Structure formats: C-alpha cells, structure tokens
Structure 1
C-alpha cells in the first residue's frame, strides 16, 4: 500500500484494515495516526480488528497487522510445570482468581513492568486513562492472580461480545501471569469462546499454542464473535475443570 500514512482528526473514522501498510512499507501493519482514544473510538477500532500502540511523545498510532497472532483456546498447551503450578494454586485456600476487582492496579502494573529489559512504556498515561474508561463502560476486563490477599499477577483484555483481545500481562510472583492466562482460557472454554487475540507473534505465546492467521481470517472471526452475547465476566473455581481434573 502507499507509504503515506493517513492523519485522523478526533471524530474521523479509521480506514479499513486492508489499507494498512504492507511488507514493503516502513512499518507493516500500521494503519493511521491521530484520532481519539474515546470509548466509542476504541470499540469501533477493535470491531474492525485494529488497536492503538505507540510510545511517549508519539501521536496515537493504529495497527492492523497481517498476519495476526491468535490463541485458539482448544490449543492451549498446559506444560507439565504449569499444570503442577495450577494444581497447587487451585488447592491452596490462600490463592484465588478474581475478575475485574483491581483493573486500575493491573493496567498500571502492566505499564511499569520490565519486558526484556525495557519498561512497558507503550502503555502511556493516556492509554491507562482510556482503557480504564473502557473498563468502566464494560468492554475491558482484568483477570487477576491473588495470593495471601495480595495481587500477584494478572492481565487485561478487551471484549466485544465473544471477541476477546488480549492486551498485556504482569507478574510479581513466579507464574502469576501464566495462572491468570490459564484462568482466562478456562473462562473462555466455559462460555464457548474459541479464540483470544494476541496481536503480535512472540516465542512465549507460540510455546503456549498461539499461531498466526491471516488478517482476513481474523477479521471474519471478529465480525462473527462480536455479535454473540457477552459472557458473564466472573471466575468460578469449577472453571479449572476445563484444564485440570476435578479434585
């Protein structure tokens, strides 16, 4: 596509994802700059498989990558060590999974965590404010790992109907983010949600069963899933049965 990037005013709609920069352009997957992070703008963006991602001092940048990294929940790989961790967590009265009890704490922890030696600076203050508003509107959720009454790890995601878009994770204790992701997989399995968007390809996500699909496949999934009734965002310990034998 053309290397001239569209600039959006706050009320302008996003271009169609097919107009995102391609492999020959400076930043493949980049769709537009500018616009707004309002609840309405974010919902419209996610409905067409587009998300904001930018750093300090940059304008809002909108992305619609091709291919797209996704985690089919049926393919989630529960490695032996994580299975052992989950069994211990499930059977420990000091441990629990909570949903949406500390969204602001989760996204703030994700913003300040180290990622391969770099701070998660793409979650700039404006993004924290925008996704907190999205959470209050019912479209963003946190899945949290609690140990001894303290938030030990978690993740946050965006959800439109049954289209679930993973955003970021953090851990203050070993495997705490993996426990939260496992809980999200169980919640999705319980409600018949088939796919979690992972946005970008990483070896860690691939090791858990995620893989790439074309943007067209992803957009077809989103268009169908977002029209389905939203699940009840809560976690019941019985949901662990989707990954672990009942005990």
Structure 2
C-alpha cells in the first residue's frame, strides 16, 4: 500500500477510528476509553510551563514543516509512524486537512505536534521534543488556535500522564462519539446539502 486514500482516512476519523502501523501492518483503532483535552476554561497550563511561555524560548509556527514534524515524532525506539502513515498524512496536509505546530530556535526545529482537522474536531496524532517544553508549548499554541477557529473537540486518542496535566481526561467511547458528532455535524446527504 502506497498511501491510505484521504477519503478513507477522513471517513474513519468521522466515525471515531484512526490508523497506526504495527510491524508493517496497518491497524485501525477505536479505543473503549478516549483521551480528550478541553478547549474551554478547563484547559490547564501548569505553573512551570507558564514561566517557560513568558520567556518565549521558541518561535512558534504553523504548517511550515509538516513532514519534518512527522519525522521528529517517528524518531523513537518504537514507533507506529511508518512510510505509509507519513505519505498518507502528508497528502492530507497537501489537501488542507492535516496541520503541524512547530517550535523553532536558532538551532532549528526543537519540537512540535501534528494532527488532522476535520470540521469542528482536531485529532492530535503525535508530538515530540528535542529541547525542554517544546511539545508542551506547541500544544498551548494549538489550543489557542483551535479556540480561535471555533473547534469544539481536541481528541488525543489515548490519555497519558503528560496530557492529564493540561486537564485532559478519558471518556467512554459512547460519550466520545457524541462529542464527535456534535463537533463535526451530521453527515452530508442529498437532503441536507446546502
């Protein structure tokens, strides 16, 4: 498989399903418990990170090095990001559905994150840091941007201790699917096309 067709990927996201590559095989997931980060006042910036943000250690950019961010996210001992995933999401980026947030300094790209934006939902895929707080600062800037854009759901797929410090929580699949439906609206049919 060279890449996952964009319509298959977007259709899967709209139904609460996402892909990961494992041992050269593409697997599709819809966890029983789903991680979400609040976009309202329940989003929490830890005190130490507030100090780091005031120092402004990075220039934060959006969508200037999408594939480089993906490669940064794949730089770990065990990764689910293979060539098919990279090529598929790079195509989604080309079509305007995938986005990256990047933290740069004089030494180059130091961290960031990427994900898929579809209607009123953002599906966070992965993040990485080469220097202190880079991925966390990228996340804070992502939340600001999503609020500006009127996005209603920030899906993190799985919940980690790293994400709970921002107010992230797990919700049962049924509740997640309700949040997802509210964020992306009803599917387009012949009767409700505008």
Q: Quick check: which has more Rg, 1 or 2?
A: 1
Alignment-derived partner of residue 27 in structure 2: 61
Alignment-derived partner of residue 104 in structure 2: 146
Alignment-derived partner of residue 241 in structure 1: none
Matched, 1:107 2:104: no
Q: Which runs of 5+ in 1 are unaligned?
A: 1-9, 11-35, 229-247
Matched, 1:42 2:9: yes
Q: Separation in 2 of the partners of 1:54 and 1:100?
A: 24
Residue in structure 2 matching 1:88, options 37, 55, 76? 55
Gap change, CA 1:99 and 1:137, over 3 Å in 2: same
Secondary structure of the corresponding residue to residue 70 of structure 1: strand
Q: Deviations over 1:205-226 (max 9, x none)?
A: 1122100112122112222322
Normalization by structure 2: what TM-score? 0.88
CA RMSD of aligned residues (A): 1.8
Q: Separation in 1 of the partners of 2:109 and 2:159?
A: 27
Where do residues 62-77 of structure 1 align in structure 2 (5 Å cutoff)? 62-74=28-40, 75-77=42-44
Normalization by structure 1: what TM-score? 0.70
Q: Deviations over 1:135-173 (max 9, x none)?
A: 111111001111127211100011101111000001111
Q: Which runs of 5+ in 2 are unaligned?
A: 187-194
Q: Separation in 1 of the partners of 2:6 and 2:182?
A: 21
Q: Separation in 2 of the partners of 1:154 and 1:205?
A: 14
Indicate conservation of the 8 Å contact 2:153/2:183, yes or no. Answer: no
Q: Deviations over 1:97-121 (max 9, x none)?
A: 1111000100011011x3xxxx242
Secondary structure of the corresponding residue to residue 59 of structure 2: strand
Residue in structure 2 matching 1:226, options 173, 184, 189? 184
Indicate conservation of the 8 Å contact 2:123/2:156, yes or no. Answer: yes
Matched, 1:168 2:126: yes
Alignment-derived partner of residue 191 in structure 2: none
Indicate conservation of the 8 Å contact 1:110/1:120, yes or no. Answer: no
Alignment-derived partner of residue 146 in structure 2: 188
Q: Separation in 2 of the partners of 1:47 and 1:149?
A: 38
Indicate conservation of the 8 Å contact 2:60/2:102, yes or no. Answer: yes
Q: Between the two structures, name the one with larger relative contact order (CA 8 Å, sep ≥ 6).
A: 2
Q: Give aligned pairs, total.
A: 184
Indicate conservation of the 8 Å contact 1:96/1:147, yes or no. Answer: yes
